[in-house]
Amino acid sequence: MKVVLVAVPGSGKTTIMNYVRQKLPDVKIVNYGDVMLEISKKKFAIQHRDEMRKKIPIEEYRKIQEEAAEYIASLPGDVLIDTHASIKIGGGYYPGLPDRVVSKLKPDVILLVEYDPKDILERRKKDPDRFRDEESPEDIEMHQQANRYYAFAAANASESTVHVLSFRGKPQSRPYEHAEIAAEYIVSLFLKARQQKS
């Protein structure tokens, strides 16, 4: 089974995946951007992920997306893929899972995780290693709406299901509670699929 996890940058997808790794260590966890970065380093001498969308011509960016999709699709077993439904480029939104990419990736589930924009901004402040553009809560909300549209379009192209896990208006009672809940949800998807196979 292949599950694609999408959320706006700074949502805590890495934390979610770390919890999944603890509970199901046999699931392969792949960061789509990291796969693209390795390809970009070889072809364009790109140093970090946030540079890709600014320095690589769009036609080349598309080729790198496809190459990454082919590699990830070839991985056997259960795979959890960390990526974006939409990417902010040049003041607009570019599909992170366009038809030509998602049809090669062939996910079973696209899981969209959403948060209150202010929670995203707080998380981003704690991640000084990334070079993100300054955004307002309204910018983040618009990006989350774009993600919904793109996620459903990608599901249509790949004939997969979309699950929406929303933490809007749900404050955490302890640190990382949202990440733990999201991880449990993902684990349940894999376990259910395994039961259906057996």
Average pLDDT over residues 155-164: 96
Reading the block at residue 139, the tokens are 């910018």
Nearest to 65 by CA among 50, 84, 79: 84
CB atoms within 10 A of CB 26: 8
In the prediction, which pLDDT does 53 show?
72
pTM, to two decimals: 0.89
Q: What is the mean pLDDT of the chain?
A: 92
Taking the CA atoms of 28, 38, 180 and 86 in sequence, report the sign of the dihedral they define. Answer: negative
Q: Does residue 132 register a pLDDT over 60?
A: no
Contact assessment for residue 143 and residue 8, using Cβ atoms and an 8 Å cutoff:
yes
Per-residue pLDDT tens over the stretch 143-159:
999 999 999 999 999 99
Average pLDDT over residues 124-146: 82
**pLDDT-derived band of residue 81, with 50, 70 and 90 as boundaries?**
very high
Q: Does residue 161 register a pLDDT over 90?
A: yes
**pLDDT-derived band of residue 189, with 50, 70 and 90 as boundaries?**
very high
Q: Does residue 46 register a pLDDT over 70?
A: yes
- pLDDT top residue among 59 and 24: 24
The span from the first CA to the last CA of the chain, in angstroms, equals: 13
In the prediction, which pLDDT does 125 show?
80
